[in-house]
Structure 1
Amino acid sequence: MEALRIYLWSLCLSLCLIIYGANSDPLEDKRALLEFLTIMQPTRSLNWNETSQVCNIWTGVTCNQDGSRIIAVRLPGVGLNGQIPPNTISRLSALRVLSLRSNLISGEFPKDFVELKDLAFLYLQDNNLSGPLPLDFSVWKNLTSVNLSNNGFNGTIPSSLSRLKRIQSLNLANNTLSGDIPDLSVLSSLQHIDLSNNYDLAGPIPDWLRRFPFSSYTGIDIIPPGGNYTLVTPPPPSEQTHQKPSKARFLGLSETVFLLIVIAVSIVVITALAFVLTVCYVRRKLRRGDGVISDNKLQKKESNPFALGSL
């Protein structure tokens, strides 16, 4: 009986914990996001409030399996305006995904983002951010994808990016970054990089960067062997690019071969037409000849009484 009683108490306690966990909220994370929302004032309405539960209800928010922490915040294009307030997003210490792209966020890169140690995906593109990039990216050792393009970041590209061993995609295009391009050849996981249209970047294009598409580094000042700066721009399209392709090119033939084929086909058609006309002419001639012979025979028969009797 005692064992049964202990079992029942354990079962009851487990059920209570499950029910409590299902109805619980990551309260600290919730407060941090509400403070963030109050200051940023998005133009698009969000269903965030103190009375509603965060996990599985709040727009753009994802929690971990037990609902104890927020691990993802995705708020693209909701009209967030102004600087990211300190001590708000940075309090989400379990955050893995942060997407605030396509808003009106201004100011510098938040210094307290160093608290987001587990951050793996960071998307802040298409905003009005400015100032230098973080000097030490190594604090985010789990970073896999970073997109800071289409902002106003300036200064140099931090060499600490070379310590992001898991990075697969890095996009810093369309900023005002300057200086030399750091050596990122050690990033064996890097599959995509875009440094284009940072017109103040200078120096030779590193060999490791040349393995990526040309579009990854257009709009950059390079130093050729002669020593003079040259702006990397896409090659101008040739005139043939804008011309309508001929039938020969469409069929995969050279112009000469195509011309010979046209001539040969023309000769065959003309020959066949001449043959048909000749046959028609001969047949018509023969028919006229048969008509004359028949008339002559009839005249002879009419002049011969014996022939008429036989009719």
Structure 2
Amino acid sequence: MATPNFSRKLNVIILLLLLSRSCSENKPGDEDEVEVLMEVLRDLNDSNGRIMDWSYFMVSPCYSWSHVICDHKQGKVISLSLGSIGFSGILSSTITKLKFLSNLDLHDNNISGELPDLSSLVNLQNLNLTRNKLSGSIPTSWAKLSNLKYLDLSGNHNLSGKVPEKLFSTSVFNFTGTSLDCGTTLQQPCISTSSVTASAKKSKLKFLTVGASCGALLLLLFGALCYYRLDLKRKPNHDLFVDVEGEDECKVSFGQLRRFSWREVQLATDNFNESNIIGRGGFGKVYRGVIADNTKVAIKRLTDYQSPGGEAAFLREVQLISVAVHRNLLRLIGFSTTTYERVLVYPFMQNLSVAYHLRDLKPGGEKGGLDWATRKRIALGAARGLEYLHEHCTPKIIHRDLKAANILLDDEFEPVLGDFGLAKLVDTNLTHITTQVRGTMGHIAPEYLSTGKSSEKTDVFGYGITLLELITGQRAIDLSRLDDEEDVLLLDHIKKLLREMRIGDIVDPNLRVYDAKEVETMIQVALLCTQGSPEDRPKMGQVMHMLGGHGLAERWAEWEQVQHLQTQEFSRMSHHFAWGEDSTQDQEAIQLSQAR
């Protein structure tokens, strides 16, 4: 007979397997792509530890992984941009399992070994492996890459052998700085004519520009520029449109939103300098920035609006969300678009996120942690923000990734919900259901994992987990609890502590002063919000009333009764399986239970 400790660990393993399976059933291939990317990363050997946000425990690589771009309709990885990371491993054939990959950029690393057979990547259009330490010859099978438009193997000095003739039909290719045999019949044997022509045009244009810069013309241009900038200062609300190559020319009015030029965004973030990254949300990286009027901003660079139709969807959703104004929602200042980029500009929150104060600040540190009064204010503010999105917006907005990391704090520690801007708009005349799984493991409602259908009640579940984060200061999933023979899921861990009457072990040890009655209320509301059936969970308006103590006692009594019945049923089943199927008494008990 299995020991309790072994059974508990076995249950945890089974639970994690079920979570992974439910994700893969909902989005076929997501789980595989997570595993494939992690295997590719292992083979590449990220010895510098630059890739920190890839994880086996994510639902999909498409929502928060850096250097990854997906087709937002199919949820498949289409681009990997991993240049200048410092890899020192190999590029293995595992990469070919990413069947939808169209762009692979691994330039300026220290990747060694031979080139793999990539012929099965039928969608591959751009391949950049320049300046690595690759050796051997180009596989002849690469001739099957019929969609390849850009190929750069330059700077790999140990590559040798003959270049397959078919590759010379690639629009842009470069084999210079290698020992490859490009043939002797071509005028530019190892570099495409288009590459040379483009380089020559740039040199010629630079020469003509310098020659044309005479004093009189320069003076006129300078005067015109001064007049233009003076005119802009006279019109502080005028949108700035600076000509940048590839910038979208669509001019749409979005009320008080400001449309930033791409150049303004680049200047604000020091050209998206990695040192300015302050977070990674469900839709991309977030950068700290300062715009021209010295306003501090947070600039979110989206990652999944690059496929056909993405522009129209982006503009439509930005326009609708721009009217979602509430003191507990992060205000949208403006946006910027180019052919390949979508950027959102928000106010910078000086006090960062709730998660930062719960877990990243040391107790008694310079800034201190969150006291109980502040945690209560955060709970109420987050509830007000969600209620507004669910019950006062038309169409409704579902957040789908509520957690402590996505609740930001302003200068007065007032909570504002972040990362909701492009979550999901729900047309009440059509359906309350969406089918694109996103979120963070441990915060995702069970029905969302199993069916892919989200609703306001999936947000309620996430809110309940967030309340538990506020009370305990812990993460929604913590594998270290396995070492202490505890449940890795925070929700299960709390239920176990309640059954064992270990109330004192629930509250964050950093909380020295708190109101025990208020903690009890918040725990009860959290457990009501995280019930397995979405129909049993309260609406956010009801949650706000229960946090004030109204109507909580009745619903909590019902919850306790259900939990008692479930515990009894579980005990019967455990007893039955422990003693075998020959126990007539247990068989009858199970039949009676099923009849009820």
Instruction: Tell me the TM-score normalised to structure 1 length.
Output: 0.49
Instruction: Tell me the TM-score normalised to structure 2 length.
Output: 0.26
- The higher-RCO structure (CA 8 Å, 6+ apart) is 2
Q: Larger Cα Rg: Structure 1 or Structure 2?
A: 1
